[in-house]
Structure 1
Amino acid sequence: MKTRVTEIFGIKYPIIQGGLAYLAYAELAAAVSNAGGLGQITAATLGTPEKLREEIRKVRTLTDKPFAVNLAIARHDNGGKYQELLEVVIEEKVPAISITGANPQPVFERIKGENIRTLVLVAGARQAQKAEELGADAVMAVGQEGGGHLGRDDIGTMVLIPRVVDSVSIPVIASGGIGDGRGLLAALSLGAEGIEMGTRFIATQECIHANEKYKQAIVHAKETDTVVIKRTLGAPGRVLKNDFALNIIEREQEGATYEDLKDVISGKANLEYIYDGNEVEGFGWAGQVIGLINTIPTVQELFDEMILTAEKGQSRIDRLFGELNHR
């Protein structure tokens, strides 16, 4: 399967693993890269340059394939500054980075002349055009079905992807609501040249940092079992529906400010659930794709199933068009 995404990033399949705060570490990233995709480790929630350097080197003991580091440049959860983390990425000669969360221009200025491939997460055509102007190798466009932080305009993936594809000349990677081979084939049909998945990779065996209760919640939930928090704060994010998340929304509707909510929307509250399984005092990010997830496979098993399903889907489409042409 060859697209500009596979060629740019040196991977077999155009499948990118999401940044996944607190979950995207060496074991998962290496498994994705070994299966033929582009695995990522998350820099911001590692916190310190020393921990990031250690994790990068750990990935290299587990795979000789390309991988990326996600820089969520608006996050400083553990006191780390993204500029310090970026210096480690450069020193360690990481082949690719993804940039999320804020204006990526300072990152592009710093890595000019370095041999680092770049992905920028966007939620609309204007953001994608800006990323292209800055020199991004590709953009990842996330529809409102996605888990974690989203765009503010509630644009679904089905509309967003062709809209972004039509607005830029660089490759577009589809994200949001994708979790199997059908989603991969659909994204390619919309003009994307690859996909990014976050939620689906949480429910895999190599996502060892995710609590089993969190994984089981993803497996057993329906597509209606998510809600969007932080909408009134201008930073909407989709999470699993539980009483803790519903309470956040209720307080938002009552006019709560960021200062009022900062403890319940913090990384600490996220960790209470995803690490400790404490849904009474925490929340877990998840997209609507949970309605399509009912297993916890190895990453390799997931890739095998996805490619097989995409091939069967392509054969079905070919057959339908063949029948149409013979009428």
Structure 2
Amino acid sequence: MEWKTRVTELLGIEYPIIQGGLAYLAYADLAAAVSEAGGLGQITAMSLESPEALRAEIRKVRELTMKPFGVNFAIGQHGRPYEHMLDVALEENVKVLSVTGGNPAPFFEYVKGADVRVLVLVAAKRQAVKAESLGADAVMVVGHEGGGHLGRDDIGTMVLVPQVVGAVKIPVIASGGIGDGRGWMAAHALGAEGIEMGTRFIATKECVHASMEYKQALLQTEETGTVVIKRTLGAPARALAGIWTEKILRMEEEHADYDKLKDYISGNANRRFIHNGDEQSGFGWAGQVAGMIGDIPTVGELFGRMVKQAEEIRRKWA
């Protein structure tokens, strides 16, 4: 079956499946595997230590695949500058850029005139309308089920996606709670023209930076095994429930401010678990879809299963 949508045409990919930015995990091995399987893989720029490190990752992807890929920019990290990293992506002629967090207006101003496609992650209808007005080529709409940073309104994917589809003319990509062919087809039924997945790609063989402890935790968790932290800071984010997130939630209940929480919610604390497997002093982001993960396939195997499942659903619908 053909999977042609405005998203596949925009990005030059076979299947309208996009890999999320995945802080500290979305590097060349995973990005290339997703692109090679027919989707759009992405490198996470702001998790890298320098512009030259990003340049090396971009060139490594191109050694592993000839297919399109993107670079993700998480721009809302306490005012951390990103322009020096963006310069590298533009110099290396990366054709797809995605923006998560923060106000994307300066980003669009910076890339004005460049031959790039820009995707913006949003968690509310008003954000999608703004992204379209700024010049976004598509919006990725994340519902409350998603992992990592979420919107403040607690709106689920099932409700949010069709509202955004009705509010903008550009393609809509659904995210949050999607991990198989059923979720993929549900997104199309809601009016989306593609999907973004994050958590499901962590539990793959090519996500080489994720510790086995992290991957096993994803396999073992139930759909109720995630919690939302950082809500009191106005930046809600979903993570695997564990010893460390219990501490964070307890501190939030006691009205701890950012200065007291920063070491607990830091990138270092995140890496202690996702890279080193230390669940006693770290945490890992995860969406509710973790409850559906039962194995650690290759990315190619995962795509094969999803396509087969989605094709079976399409035949039933026909």
Task: Write the mapping of 1:161-310 to structure 2, written as runs, cut at 5 A.
Answer: 161-310=161-310
Distance 1:47 1:188 in 2: 37
Q: How many residues align?
A: 316
Asked if the contact 1:45–1:76 (Cα under 8 Å) also holds between the matched residues in 2, the reply is: no
Distance 1:262 1:149 in 2: 15
Q: Is 1:50 aligned to residue 52 of structure 2?
A: yes
Q: Secondary structure at the match of 1:239?
A: strand
Distance 1:239 1:213 in 2: 15
Distance 1:103 1:128 in 2: 12
Asked if the contact 1:98–1:121 (Cα under 8 Å) also holds between the matched residues in 2, the reply is: yes
What residue in structure 1 maps to residue 126 of structure 2? 126
Q: CA deviation at 1:107?
A: 1.1
Q: Secondary structure at the match of 1:41?
A: strand
Q: Secondary structure at the match of 1:23?
A: coil
Distance 2:309 2:71 in 1: 29
Q: CA deviation at 1:76?
A: 7.1
Q: Is 1:17 aligned to residue 22 of structure 2?
A: no
Q: Secondary structure at the match of 1:308?
A: helix
What residue in structure 2 maps to residue 321 of structure 1? none
Distance 2:307 2:219 in 1: 21
Task: Write the mapping of 1:97-108 to structure 2, written as runs, cut at 5 A.
Answer: 97-108=97-108
- For structure 1, the residue ranges without an aligned partner over 5 or more in a row are 319-327
CA distances 1:101-155 after superposition (whole Å, capped 9, x unpaired): 1111111111111111010000011000000001000000000000000000000
Partner amino acid for 1:63?
Answer: T
Q: CA deviation at 1:47?
A: 2.6
Distance 2:51 2:175 in 1: 29
Distance 2:56 2:243 in 1: 37
TM-score, length of structure 1 as denominator length = 0.95
What residue in structure 1 maps to residue 9 of structure 2? 7
Asked if the contact 1:143–1:160 (Cα under 8 Å) also holds between the matched residues in 2, the reply is: yes
Structure possessing the higher radius of gyration over alpha carbons: 1
Q: Secondary structure at the match of 2:66?
A: coil
Alignment counterpart, residue 71 of structure 1, candidates 66, 73, 77 = 73
Distance 1:34 1:314 in 2: 24
Q: CA deviation at 1:75?
A: 2.8
Q: CA deviation at 1:315?
A: 2.0
Distance 1:137 1:178 in 2: 22
Distance 1:295 1:309 in 2: 16
What residue in structure 2 maps to residue 323 of structure 1? none
Distance 1:43 1:87 in 2: 11
Distance 1:243 1:90 in 2: 41
Partner amino acid for 1:295?
Answer: D
Distance 1:76 1:127 in 2: 19
Q: CA deviation at 1:74?
A: 1.8
Q: Secondary structure at the match of 1:44?
A: helix
Q: Secondary structure at the match of 2:286?
A: coil
Asked if the contact 1:47–1:76 (Cα under 8 Å) also holds between the matched residues in 2, the reply is: no
Q: Secondary structure at the match of 1:170?
A: coil
Distance 1:232 1:218 in 2: 26
Partner amino acid for 1:121?
Answer: L
TM-score, length of structure 2 as denominator length = 0.98
Q: CA deviation at 1:316?
A: 2.3
Asked if the contact 1:76–1:82 (Cα under 8 Å) also holds between the matched residues in 2, the reply is: no
Asked if the contact 1:128–1:139 (Cα under 8 Å) also holds between the matched residues in 2, the reply is: yes
Q: Is 1:40 aligned to residue 42 of structure 2?
A: yes
- For structure 2, the residue ranges without an aligned partner over 5 or more in a row are none
What residue in structure 1 maps to residue 62 of structure 2? 60
Distance 2:10 2:315 in 1: 27
| Aligned-residue RMSD, C-alpha | 1.0
